[in-house]
Amino acid sequence: MALSRKQMPSLQELTAFEAAGRHGTFTSAAAELSLTQSAISKQIRQLEETLGVVLFERARGRVVLTALGERYLRSAQRILSDYEAETHAVIAFGGSVTTLKIAVLPTFASRWLVPRLPAFLAAHPDLTIQMTTEPRPFDFAEKSVDVAIHYGQPNWPHGEAVFMCRESIVAVASPAYLRRHGLGRAADLQRAVLLQQASRPSLWQDWFAATRAEHPHPYRGPIFDQFAMTAQAAVAGMGVALVPTFLVEQELAGGQLAMLDELPFSGAGAYYVVTPLRVQHSPVVMSFVRWVVAQVGR
C-alpha cells in the first residue's frame, strides 16, 4: 500500500533538509535558499515530525546528521537532482512535438555522433534531443532513455542491440615523439611510454599479441578513463596511444598524430545501437537507429 500524502514530506522540507545537511548549519542553508534561519529550522522540524525520526543532532550552534539522516540525505539529493533534471527537460522540450533521449559513450559522442547530428535534426525539425554520456551498460528500467550506443557484446537486458561496426585500433603518437624515440614498429615500443585506457586494461597486451611483438610491461603507463583524454595525451607528446581510428580522424589528417607502421587491430567487441523493448515501435527511435547505422556504413 502506498504511503498517504500526510506521510510524505513536502518539496520545501526536502530542499531545506538537503541544504542543511550539505552545509552542516541552518544559517548557511538559510543564506543559500534566501530564507531565515528560523524558517529552515521549522522546515526541518516538520520533516522530522512527518517521518517520526531524528535527522540532526543539535550541538553548539551546529547540526550533525544522524546515521539515518546521512542515509536520507543521499536519497533527498538524488530526488532533488532528478526533479531538477526533469524540470529542465520539460522546459527545454516545451515547443517540441517529439523528444529523443540518447545515452552514448563519452568520446564517441564528442568525436563522432555530435558532429553528424545536425543532418539528422535537419530532417526532423520537430524533434528535440536530450543526450547523456554513459560509459557502461545500465538498466533501461532505471533510466528513461530511448536509445543507447554501446561498445562490447550485444548483451543488454530488456533491450535489442543492432550491430553498427567493429573498430580499427591503431597505435598513434605525435610525430615529434616518434622521431625522438625512433619509433616505427611494435618492437620499438620498449623505448616508449604506453598510454593506458582504463576501460580497456588489456588493450596493449592484446595489440602486442596481434602484432607478434613482445613488451615487458604492457600494462604500465599513465591511465586515462576516456579515449579522448588518451588521444590528447598522445598529441601532447606523453607517449603512444591505442585508439579507434574514427576518433582521431582530425588529428591524423592535421598531422598532430601519426600512426606506427602496423596494421589496424580489431578489438574483441563491436559498437551497437541499443533500444529498450518498450520503444521498439517508435518511428522516431527506429529512424534514429537506421540513420546511425547508415552513417557508419559511409
If asked whether residues 206 and 260 sit together in one domain, one would say: yes
The pLDDT, as a whole number, for residue 104 is 93
CATH number at residue 112: 3.40.190.10
Q: Residue 93's pLDDT is what?
A: 54
User: What pLDDT is attached to residue 180?
Assistant: 96
| Cα angle 86, 90, 92; round to 5 | 110
Co-location of 147 and 235 in the same domain:
no
**Three cell numbers written together for 141:** 528500467
The answer to whether 287 and 162 have CB atoms below 8 angstroms apart is no
Instruction: Report the distance separating Cα 51 and Cα 181, nearest Å.
Output: 66
Residue with cell 528500467: 141
Q: What's the Rg (C-alpha) of the chain?
A: 26
Sign of torsion, CA 124 129 135 137? negative
Domain end (from 70, 91, 112): 91
d(CA 178, CA 167): 24
Return d(Cα 47, Cα 12) in angstroms, integer.
10
One domain, residues 136 and 282: yes
C-alpha grid cell for residue 183?
Answer: 619509433
Cα–Cα distance measured from residue 62 to residue 23, given in angstroms and rounded to the nearest whole number? 10
Tell me how many degrees the CA angle 159-85-288 measures, rounded to the nearest 5: 40
Can you tell me the distance from the alpha carbon of 258 to that of 39, in angstroms, rounded to the nearest whole number? Answer: 63
Asked whether the CA dihedral 185, 189, 193, 198 is positive or negative, the reply is: positive
Phi and psi at 212, nearest 5°, equal 60, 35
Which among 229, 239, 157 has a CA at the least distance from the CA of 195? 239
* CATH number of the structural domain spanning residue 12: 1.10.10.10
Query: Does one domain contain both 274 and 160?
Result: yes
Specify which residues 52 forms β-bridges with. none
Same domain for 52 and 133 = no
Phi, psi angles (nearest 5°) of residue 265 = -110, 130
- Residue 61 has what pLDDT? 64
- 64 and 111: one domain? no
Whether residue 285 is found in the same domain as residue 257: no
- The angle at the Cα of 246, spanning 244 to 247, to the nearest 5 degrees, equals 70
Q: Are residues 45 and 110 in the same domain?
A: no
Domains in the chain, number: 3
> Last residue of some domain: 74, 91, 108?
91
Query: In the chain, which stretches have pLDDT less than 70?
Result: 1-3, 61, 88-97
Assess whether 288 and 206 both reside in one domain. no
Per-residue pLDDT, 96: 45
Q: Are residues 278 and 219 in the same domain?
A: no
- Domain co-membership, 97 together with 70: no
- Residue 184 sits in the same domain as residue 234: yes
Whole-model pTM? 0.65
Q: Is the dihedral of CA 106, 107, 109, 115 positive or negative?
A: positive
Domain that holds residue 81: 5-91
Residues in CB range of 70: below 8 A, 6 or more apart: 21
